[in-house]
Amino acid sequence: MIKNLIFDFGKVLVDYDFEAFFHRHIPDTARCRAFTPVLYNERVQQLLDRELKPYDDLMEDLIRENREYEREIRTFNEHYTEIVTGEVPGMRELLARLKAEGYRLYGLTNWCSKVYHTMGQFDIFRLLDGQVISSEEHVIKPEPAIYEILFERFRLRPEECIFTDDRPMNVDGGRRLGMNGIVFRNAAQYEKELRQLLQA
């Protein structure tokens, strides 16, 4: 019996747009195009999500590696909360209904320690009964350890959980440990697939 619904944060509960952020703060199109992959790439994002050293130290490392973009990196840091553009349409209302139906709601996210600025901005996060954040645990999805932390911390049985994430590899990571999963596209698609799983 499903008792617990687990949610990724980015592109599931809230949306973000790195490229729009960079275009807004770096009006020179050529420079913006050159800078974007310096910060928005898998290696850097994983370093920030895992946060093996403090976030500010990681940013200083990045500046040392890319001195020509120091101003842009510091701008990113100063205006970080602007990256998140808002709640994903329909999800707060859906989570409120699911909570009223008796399901426990949890978050499982790859996010740096700046996540708390975002959580303070949006009401949807107040509906969660708890969360596991990669930068606090120093492990990231889809590594098994982060799912195991979730199960242990909240005394969850994987077979009683459904996990949703916009990245198939992260959903597969949960499935390998016994959770059912849904690859998220939008609120309507998620609810349709969720209801099908709940009735199975």
Q: How far apart are CA 74 and CA 1, in angstroms?
A: 48
- Assess whether 71 and 145 both reside in one domain: no
Q: How many domains does the chain have?
A: 2
- Assess whether 8 and 62 both reside in one domain: no
Q: Residue 148 sits in a domain of what CATH number?
A: 3.40.50.1000
- Over the chain, what is the mean pLDDT? 96
**Which pair of structure tokens corresponds to residue 14?**
């809230």
- Assess whether 92 and 167 both reside in one domain: yes
User: 3-class DSSP state for residue 119?
Assistant: helix
Q: Mind listing the pLDDT tens digit for each residue in 174-200? A: 999 999 999 999 999 999 999 999 997
In the sheet with 104-109, reading across from the earlier edge strand, the strands are 130-133, 104-109, 4-7, 161-165, 180-183
Contact 157, 177 (CB under 8 A): no
Of the chain, the percentage scoring pLDDT greater than 70 comes to: 100
Contacts of 35 (CB under 8 A, 6+ apart): 22, 26, 69, 72
Q: How far apart are CA 63 and CA 71, in angstroms?
A: 9
Residue 163 has pLDDT above 80, yes or no: yes
pLDDT of residue 200: 77
pLDDT of residue 61: 96
Q: Which residue spans within 30-129 are E strands per DSSP?
A: 84-87, 104-109
Residue 19 has pLDDT above 90, yes or no: no
Residue 131 has pLDDT above 80, yes or no: yes
Residue 38 has pLDDT above 90, yes or no: yes
Q: What is the DSSP string of 8-48?
A: -SBTTTEEE-HHHHHHHH---HHHHHHHHHHHSSHHHHHHH
Query: Domain range spanning residue 27?
Result: 16-83
φ/ψ bin of 130: left (φ > 0), alpha (ψ from -120 to 50), beta (otherwise)? left
Q: Mind listing the pLDDT tens digit for each residue in 74-128? A: 999 999 999 999 999 999 999 999 999 999 999 999 999 999 999 999 999 999 9
Report yes or no on whether pTM surpasses 0.85.
yes
- Where among 83, 110, 139 does a domain terminate? 83
Q: Categorize the per-residue pLDDT at 172 as very low, low, confident or very high, splitting at 50, 70 and 90.
A: very high
pLDDT of residue 161: 98
- Mean pLDDT computed over 57-81: 95
- Assess whether 123 and 181 both reside in one domain: yes
